[in-house]
Amino acid sequence: MRTHTCGDLRSEHIGQTVSLCGWVAKRREHGEKLAFVDLRDFSGVVQCVVDNDVDVRSEWVVRVTGVVRARPAGTENSTLATGQVEVGECRVEVLNIAEPPPFPIDARADEVDEGIRLRHRYLDIRRERMQRNLRVRARVNSSIRAAMERQGFVEVETPFLMPSTPEGAREFLVPSRKEPGSFFALPQSPQLWKQLLMVAGVDRYYQIARCLRDEDLRADRQYEFMQLDAEMSFVTQDDVLAAISEAVMAAAESVTGVRPPEIERITWREAMERFGVDKPDLRFGMELVELTDVFSATEFKAFAGAASIKAIRVDAATYPEQAAYGRNKLDALTDRAKKLGAKGLVWLKVVADGQVESPVAKFLSDLERSELLARTHATEGDLVLVVADDWATTCEVLGQLRNDIGRPPVHEGPYRYVWVVYFPLFVGADPNTGRPRPGHHPFCHPHPDDIDKFESDPLSVRALAYDLVLNGWELGSGSIRIHEPELQRKVFNALGISDEEADRRFGFFLQPFKYGAPPHGGFAFGIDRLTAILAGEENIREVIAFPKTQSGADPMTNAPTPVDAGQLAELGLRLLPPPAQ
RNA sequence: GGUCCCGUGGUGAAGUUGGAGUUCACGCCGGCCUGUCAAGCCGGAGGUCGCGGGUUCGAGUCCCGUCGGGACCGCCA
């Protein structure tokens, strides 16, 4: 039906007779004998000059046949890729009429309520922004596939219907028709399958896999999301990191045209010490400064005896507004710190001559004050925020405040990828059992140097577990897995899981490991998140064709919907009465 | 489960101390217009102020509830 696409016409096409198909983006009439019709398809927009009276309106579907010609001098449009040319002597064939759209099919729809965009997603996707985002996503997918294939990974598809496992995220359940009362679960991730594929000798598995988790939605979370899921046999942590880095860098290069530099690494411990979070945003400074020893003999009660005292400096030159916060804002920051778990927040404003203005100024010795300013490099106009608490609380609270105050929107460059390695194997204590809980999942391999600390100091045991972080967003995580039954039992014991319980909860998973499991490890990262950042979006819904709203519904199809009684009966289900008012 | 923000013709906004469904821009319909480009000029149509209740002589405005959308906390091993 067409010889070219709208967005592709350039001066080199001048003189050619072309046929184009698309939607009427805009019509500008100048009397009966002249009209400009902007024709849009996926590739862009081109101006068609119609000098006969054809009635075409917004979003009508038309086929235009005409001759490409240079625009008359002075009428070129530099804001349009096709703006040097136009299609003249146009014959317009109406292929379909259309009602006026509920919102303009152009950049103005960026301001339209997202619910309305989602209700008419097929119109939203006609827009350049969405066309671009879907194509970015396609490039990400295909370059990841190519990178994994290049490295010898084999794509294996795994089941969508699998047994429910109570661990981890809440699952979507699928009732069984043939076995009423029994259910399948949809995969939170292909974790189970990929480790079995290692036992099965596949050696290098990957899949661009859909994962489903019935947890509350966020800007970076949907019920359904896509992961690059991979697993490798006979590898070290370095091998896994290298393979995944290659896929990520290839994906980034395919979108931005620039291959990112080698992805840097930081230990979990260092991330917490310097940035106060396990997904540090390296695009800005404001790092945490260690002050514990400065106040080792302080008279100031709130600092005396604190296990950890740290500060961040809000630089007046970089953050003039925040550094000059008044009393109300500082009180709000203090409330925020308390909500995050700190006992309090001490703020100090640096004034002239190394003096500070602070509610606690009179409690600090001259030496303490001058050392605090020296360590934080604070100068006149800067704001210093200090937290004194246990190590984890101090780090986490200041890390959150650092993000609150300084973090740019996630999509703003430069892109700063970082591997966070050696996560703790165990975290905190289960409030019920008093035992430590797994930091990641109970199959992570402990760091070989730390295995003798299981009993003496379990919380200091590092895992061969790692996260990939981009601009403060967690892209994904992985680990080297335990393949030795004896070590696995040791980890279960530390977690307070008996052999019997382990067998009951994980037996179907552990049984195959008895038949010769190779050393293996893997990784999974979220393609929606990577795509959003590479596309310059701060919300993964913008890179998903048909996403759900925050409440988990689809305004276009109205899913989820009730089903009729017959469907329920066939599945052996009956609904509970609605909860009382 | 919780905190906060938003909801006014098709779209986006404004609406002051509670005083007439009022206003602006875009879109839509009709007319004019031969070089515009988010064209211009003239005219017109279009409303359950999300919904329900309350306070009041009177509610878009205040209060309570509810629905929908969004950000976040919990949750996401």
- Interval A47-89: pLDDT, tens: 999 987 788 999 999 999 999 999 999 999 999 999 999 999 9
Q: In this prediction, what percent of chain A has a pLDDT beyond 70?
A: 98
pLDDT of residue A386: 95
Residue A549 has pLDDT above 90, yes or no: yes
CA of A581 to C1' of B65 (A): 12
Mean pLDDT of A111-140: 96
The nucleotide closest to A220 (CA, C1' atoms): B76
Mean pLDDT of A497-512: 86
- pLDDT tier, A432 (very low <50, low <70, confident <90, very high otherwise): low
**Cα separation of A392 and A288, whole Å?**
13
CA of A25 to C1' of B31 (A): 23
Place of tokens 């230990």: A267
pLDDT of residue A51: 85
CB of A419 within 8 A of CB of A459?
no
**Mean pLDDT computed over every residue of chain A:** 93
What is the tens place of the pLDDT at every residue in A184-239?
999 999 999 999 999 999 999 999 999 999 999 999 999 999 999 999 999 999 99
CA of A115 to C1' of B59 (A): 28
Bridge partners for A310 per DSSP:
A290, A387
Question: Residues in chain A, how many?
Answer: 581
Residue A335 has pLDDT above 90, yes or no: no
**Cα separation of A280 and A272, whole Å?**
8
pLDDT of residue A412: 84
Residue nearest to nucleotide B26 (CA to C1'): A104
Please list, in sequence order, all residues whose beta carbon lies within 8 angstroms of the beta carbon of residue A462, skipping any fewer than 6 positions away: A268, A422, A423, A424, A425, A446, A447, A449, A450
Half-sphere exposure of A163 (CA within 13 A, CB side): 10
Please list, in sequence order, all residues whose beta carbon lies within 8 angstroms of the beta carbon of residue A101, skipping any fewer than 6 positions away: A58, A59, A120, A123
Coil, strand or helix at A48:
strand
Q: Which tokens sit at A421? A: 């390695």
Q: With CA atoms as reference, report the closest residue to A88 among A9, A2, A7.
A: A9
CA of A426 to C1' of B53 (A): 53
Q: Which tokens sit at A191? A: 């974790």
Residue A429 has pLDDT above 60, yes or no: yes
Residue A578 has pLDDT above 80, yes or no: no
Residue nearest to nucleotide B1 (CA to C1'): A216
**Cα separation of A289 and A309, whole Å?**
9
Coil, strand or helix at A418:
strand
Residue A499 has pLDDT above 70, yes or no: yes
CB of A395 within 8 A of CB of A325?
no
**Cα separation of A557 and A479, whole Å?**
39
Most confident of A110-124, A317-331, A336-350: A110-124
- pLDDT tier, A477 (very low <50, low <70, confident <90, very high otherwise): very high
pLDDT of residue A61: 97
Residue A580 has pLDDT above 60, yes or no: no
**DSSP 8-state class, residue A188:** S
pLDDT of residue A336: 86
Nucleotides of B under 7 A from a protein CB: 1, 10-13, 26-29, 32-40, 68-77
**SS3 per residue for A108-123:** HHHHCCHHHHHHCHHH
Mean pLDDT of A304-331: 90
pLDDT of residue A433: 67
Intra-chain end-to-end CA distance of chain A, in Å: 60
CB of A137 within 8 A of CB of A543?
yes
Helices (H), A62-120: 114-119
Bridge partners for A28 per DSSP:
A36
pLDDT of residue A454: 87
Helices (H), A169-236: 191-199
Residue A285 has pLDDT above 70, yes or no: yes
Residue A581 has pLDDT above 60, yes or no: no
CA of A38 to C1' of B11 (A): 21
**Cα separation of A424 and A340, whole Å?**
21
Which stretch of DSSP H or E encloses residue A40? Answer: strand A35-41
- pLDDT tier, A551 (very low <50, low <70, confident <90, very high otherwise): very high
CB atoms within 10 A of CB A233: 20
pLDDT of residue A354: 85
CA of A283 to C1' of B25 (A): 39
CB of A345 within 8 A of CB of A317?
no
What is the tens place of the pLDDT at every residue in A137-184?
999 999 999 999 999 999 999 999 999 987 889 999 999 999 999 999
pLDDT of residue A463: 95
**Cα separation of A51 and A32, whole Å?**
8
Angle, helices A237-256/A128-150, rounded to nearest 10 degrees:
140
Q: With CA atoms as reference, report the closest residue to A425 among A395, A450, A400.
A: A450
Q: Which tokens sit at A579? A: 């909860």
Residue nearest to nucleotide B68 (CA to C1'): A115
The nucleotide closest to A72 (CA, C1' atoms): B35
Residue A462 has pLDDT above 60, yes or no: yes
Give how far the C-alpha of residue A377 lies from the chain's centroid of Cα atoms, to the nearest Å: 34
CA of A173 to C1' of B6 (A): 34
| Strand spans (E) along A98-223 | 154-155, 173-175, 183-185, 204-212
Angle, helices A485-494/A499-510, rounded to nearest 10 degrees:
130
- pLDDT tier, A375 (very low <50, low <70, confident <90, very high otherwise): very high
b/e sequence A495-524, b meaning 16+ C-beta within 10 Å: bebeeeebeebbeebbeebeeebebbbbbb
Phi, psi of A413 (to 5 degrees): -65, 175
**Cα separation of A207 and A113, whole Å?**
35
Cα dihedral value A154, A159, A164, A170, nearest 10: 70
Give how far the C-alpha of residue A237 lies from the chain's centroid of Cα atoms, to the nearest Å: 23
Bridge partners for A24 per DSSP:
A39
Predicted ipTM of the assembly:
0.93
CB of A309 within 8 A of CB of A433?
no
Question: What is the DSSP track for A227-262?
Answer: EEEEEEES--HHHHHHHHHHHHHHHHHHHHSSPPPP
Cα torsion angle, A390, A396, A400, A403, sign: positive
Residue nearest to nucleotide B6 (CA to C1'): A113
The nucleotide closest to A83 (CA, C1' atoms): B37
